[in-house]
Amino acid sequence: MNATERFFRRYIFSSIGIVVLFLTVNVLLVGSYLAVAYLENVADSNFPIENLSNHITLKDGQLVGDEQATEMLNKANAWAMILDGDGAVIWEENLPEELPYHYSSMDIAMFSRWYLNDYPVNIWNRQDSLLVVGFPPGDITNYYISIKAKYVGPIAYGFLAAICINILLMLYLFIRNIHRVEKAMEPILNGIRHLSAGKPVHLEEAGELAEINAGLNKAGEYLLKKDNTRAEWIRGISHDIRTPLSMILGYASEIEETLDLPEKTRKQAGIILSQSKKLKNLVSDLNLTTKLEYSMQAIHKQNIDAVELARQVVSGILNDGIPEQFEIEFYEEQPGKTIQLSGDNLLLQRMLGNLIRNSIVHNPAGCKIEFSVGIHENSCVFVVSDNGHGMSEPQLSALNSNEDISSSQKSDGDTEHGLGLKIVRQIVKAHQGKIHFSETKPHGLEVKIALPT
């Protein structure tokens, strides 16, 4: 699962979480409302008619309501009456003038459906009589529902099914929209990844995100043009500097070898020759790192004997001559064992040579350099270590985290530009290998390179 899929997978789960949260909050709100309504007696919209009936008693052959009954009716702005078995009013309290004092069985049947001349009423069956309590029109709404028993179950299941269908539909629309966004965003995210890797980008400039695609295309063209301009400039400088540099090297060498000239002049010519060689190597490194960075350097892979490769590198450095304060020791970790790897012979020689020269350049006072080759876990391992002054922790951390470094090491009066180590890392990467920088004990630098066999 790539980063894009993980991002949209989390987006889907967050959307589902939002739906669940929405439903939970609504259930809590409805439950809170019902709880408050119950506590405030809102759920029971009926007047406490049974309690009122208990406060109407028979005294001396007549029905009489006590003070509490009157208070209950006044508080509810209600009226009440009691009908006997013949429908005659035998007791009343606050009865409206427009209402009659006698009702037929049909009238009683009609207002038992909760309305009497627009007055919402509640009724209570007393012993041998009927208590009726009425309220102002519009104060209370009475309703009546009648459903056949066999339809109650299907209606309940249908209501539950409707809720489930709505939830599923909402989830489907969420996922569908997310999929559309993912489909539109995936090329953009891939384009950004390609840009970060320095690869060309061309997105179709259509759809809702056409402006973003066009912007990425323009950015990709600009970066590509900028990189090409930079690479062409470096190639041009390298080409233009080659001829005058060769002349400087030739004349400086000739002056240094002319015995008729003063010793001071010959020494100055030697310094010019040495610095010109550094400049030549710097231009060569700059050209090579540019080619490796923009994949313009063809990798000619072939089967290579790793031990023989290491011997050739050490021999080449010794033949070029090194100051007497340096000592190079080469050994095989598994003597006599053939180690084969696939790679570009010239680039691998450059990689190992740069590591050994790095120890020489950054330890002008001299040091011992150990160079070994071996095989570990199906990898060819080259190790170059020295007992010089090593590197600081921030520099080691920057090298191991593959950060760009402006300089690898500072020596007295000179600053190396780090191109040598940068080229080493680029060559290792081109061969799908691994590199690690560490400090040796008690001091010094160790570089370990593992390449697939």
pLDDT digit string, tens, across residues 79-130: 999 999 888 999 999 999 899 999 998 888 888 877 888 898 888 888 888 9
* Beta carbons of 195 and 216 less than 8 angstroms apart: yes
- 69 versus 236: the higher-pLDDT residue is 69
What is the pairing mode between strands 445-452 and 379-386? antiparallel
**Phi, psi for 37 (deg, rounded to 5):** -65, -40
CA 358/CA 360 separation, integer angstroms: 5
Mean of the pLDDT values across residues 54-64? 86
DSSP, collapsed to helix, strand or coil, labels residue 371 as: strand
pLDDT at 4 over 60: no
Q: Which residue has the higher pLDDT, 411 or 282?
A: 282
Let me know: does 53 contact 126? Beta carbons within 8 Å: yes
Q: Has residue 200 got a pLDDT over 60?
A: yes
Q: Which domains does the chain have, with CATH numbers?
A: 3-41+146-186 (no CATH), 49-134 (no CATH), 210-293 (1.10.287), 302-452 (3.30.565.10)
When pLDDT is averaged across residues 59-65 and rounded to a whole number, the result is 86
Average pLDDT of span 128-154: 82
Mean model confidence pLDDT for the chain? 80
pLDDT at position 371: 93
Q: In what order do the strands lie in the sheet with 115-116?
A: 89-93, 79-83, 129-134, 119-126, 115-116
Residues 286, 321: Cα–Cα separation, whole Å: 24
Average of per-residue pLDDT across 247-259? 85
User: Could you tell me which residues are beta bridge partners of residue 415?
Assistant: 410
CA distances from 365 to 275, 387, 412 (A): 19, 11, 11
Asked if residue 341 lies in contact with residue 378, where contact means CB atoms within 8 angstroms, the answer is no
Could you give the percent of the chain with pLDDT greater than 70? 85
CB 94 within 8 A of CB 79: yes
Q: Are 407 and 415 in contact (CB under 8 A)?
A: yes
Smallest CA-to-CA distance from 420 within 441, 440, 445 is with 445
Q: Are 282 and 417 in contact (CB under 8 A)?
A: yes
CB 142, CB 111: distance < 8 Å:
no
pLDDT digits (tens, 9 = 90+) for 369-414: 999 999 988 889 999 999 988 888 888 888 888 766 554 444 444 4
Among the listed residues 313, 306, 298, 333, the one whose alpha carbon sits nearest the alpha carbon of residue 430:
298
Say what the pLDDT of residue 297 is: 58
At 409 the pLDDT is: 44
pLDDT higher than 80, residue 446: yes
Q: What is the pTM of this model?
A: 0.49
Quickly state the pLDDT bin for 329 (edges 50, 70, 90).
Answer: very high
